[in-house]
Structure 1
């Protein structure tokens, strides 16, 4: 199996969960975050951390961006995402080897295009790769994923990320389907799943009150 190298940009609940699962399957994983307490905790658990984003990105072939996009007044705030992506692009402009950036952060349809991340470059490409993890058991959910969604207009980026997940599926003994689509559809799939979950929770809460 190929020795993939992965950087996690944003090591909160989602980033730390997927990074730990990747590391547990033998991938080389580097965690980055602006929150020192998160990095200190990961370091104490034996994981490799990197306080500088440049080192994390340049020493890996895949970067998973998991920065928060808080939902305020019914809209996801993508300011942190835009800043992180801007920094990553500046770093990748000086890198020769091909690099895939997978955005795990939750976004509304059209955000990828508005950030100017829809066009592939010579040495890197962006994909929207939404997560479907419960906060109660994110590592188990990721390890036992039912499907993986990859949204990109860049064929090379989407196929490279697909190959990565095929390798991951083999390592975990999974049976999940890998869906390749465009960024807007990928965002809509995530949004629809969130809405369905909210509806289920509301329904069961009403039953509980009966």
Structure 2
């Protein structure tokens, strides 16, 4: 049984903590909102407003703090405040604890922000007084508890091999495929790209929907067919090698040709335009690099 603290007890934190509780671990929820702490206590859960590690054995401390956007940037103010509070709690700890970044954060946050905040507020050093890891969440708001208990994919990362192994031992009993990285930024990148990929797919089919409406076609059976016919849909490895623009006959012809079709209907397709522009930019870069090698 592991000792676990959940710092930030919103949807993600509550689902994470309840999942660990169901697996038999000892869990304490931490949140600065008295109403949230009161609601958790009303469920019979151990919930507190402050983190106290002075009498605790080595524990996992999961950062499940909010990281909303503010325009075209992440607002990490609440995340920073919570992380600093964890650092102050570490200052009084007698044992070495593992701090795990579970919030969705921009790549580089664990080592570029969390680490210096923990060291500054605790007076300790990574590896000597505490450990650091990343374990991004993949929970849907409507089914967060079930998603935690039965994960499709689990991602963990740490510079420390021992920390990676301890997280593997903690999380592997839940099942699902596990991917392990030795750079926290890689795990953070996975989560961001995961969400952006989903958003891009939705916008892609919304653009197709605009065209289907103009043509008087039902998009649903078309999309369901393409989901089975397009290699990019059924082959997880298709198109994921970075730095390689698409070429050949079909892809350039149909991306360009469909833009013309949409234009003839008076429809703007910003996503498809961006697909072509990104490909042209990368193709030009590849050509330039090839030309430089022949000089």
TM-score of Structure 1 vs Structure 2, range by shorter chain: 0.7 to 0.9
1:17–1:146 Cα change, 3 Å: same
1:195–1:10 Cα change, 3 Å: same
CA radius of gyration, larger in:
2
1:148 to 129, 132, 154: 154
Correspondence 1:162 to 2:163: no
- The alignment of Structure 1 onto Structure 2 pairs a total of residues equal to 203
Unpaired runs of 5+ residues, structure 1, are none
Task: Give the aligned partner of residue 103 of structure 1.
Answer: 101
Give yes or no for contact 1:57–1:63 (8 Å, CA) kept in 2: no
Give yes or no for contact 2:56–2:93 (8 Å, CA) kept in 1: yes
Task: Give the aligned partner of residue 34 of structure 2.
Answer: 36
Whole-angstrom distance in 2 between the partners of 1:22 and 1:135: 18
Task: Give the aligned partner of residue 18 of structure 1.
Answer: 16
Unpaired runs of 5+ residues, structure 2, are 117-124, 214-295
Whole-angstrom distance in 2 between the partners of 1:45 and 1:110: 36
Cα offsets for 1:33-56 (capped at 9, x unmatched): 001111111111121111221259
Whole-angstrom distance in 1 between the partners of 2:207 and 2:150: 30
TM-fit CA distance, 1:67: 0.7
1:137–1:164 Cα change, 3 Å: same
TM-fit CA distance, 1:75: 1.4
1:60–1:50 Cα change, 3 Å: farther
* Structure 2 length-normalised TM: 0.63
Higher relative contact order (CA 8 A, sep 6+): 1
Whole-angstrom distance in 2 between the partners of 1:143 and 1:149: 15
Whole-angstrom distance in 2 between the partners of 1:139 and 1:203: 30
Correspondence 1:71 to 2:69: yes
**Which structure is higher in strand share?**
1
1:45 to 43, 46, 69: 43
**Which structure is higher in helix share?**
2
TM-fit CA distance, 1:112: 2.0
User: SS in structure 1 opposite 2:86?
Assistant: helix
1:208–1:20 Cα change, 3 Å: farther
RMSD: 2.3
TM-fit CA distance, 1:200: 2.6
Give yes or no for contact 1:19–1:29 (8 Å, CA) kept in 2: yes
Give yes or no for contact 1:100–1:160 (8 Å, CA) kept in 2: no
